[in-house]
Amino acid sequence: MSIGDVAGLISAIAFVALVGFLALPLVKLGRVFDETRISVKELTDHTVPVLDETAATVATANTQLVKVDTMTTSAAEISQNLSALTALVAATVGGPLIKVAAFSYGVRQAFGGLADRFKH
């Protein structure tokens, strides 16, 4: 065995050691990727039902909001109708009622004045 053969053998052993040294982190990195894949799969398996439940909850809430919207629209219409009815009653009864009150005041004043004349 010559010095060149020994140097080649040492170079080959050093190269194998280097490959082994570099292969170990690659194997560990492969394990990390496997664990990451498993974690992502578990996360997906647990997240999909939560998303489905959330979608169902939002759909139910939207249905309830439509019902509330219907009720508030009806309440607003009732309020407008009541306001119109109040205005109608005030216009219909208010004018004559004011006239009756003014007439009764005038009659009281007149009879009050007559009563004062008869007392003296």
Residue 40 and residue 43: Cα distance in Å, rounded? 5
Per-residue tokens: 42:
């578990």
pLDDT, tens only, 13-33: 999 999 888 898 889 999 999
Helices (H), the chain: 3-119
pLDDT, tens only, 94-118: 788 788 888 888 888 888 776 666 6
Q: Using 50, 70 and 90 to split pLDDT, how confident is the model at 72?
A: very high
Q: What is the pLDDT of residue 116?
A: 67
Nearest to 42, CA basis, from 34, 54, 30: 34
Q: Is 74 exposed, middle or buried (0-12, 13-18, 19+ CB in 10 A)?
A: exposed
Radius of gyration of the chain measured on its C-alpha atoms: 49
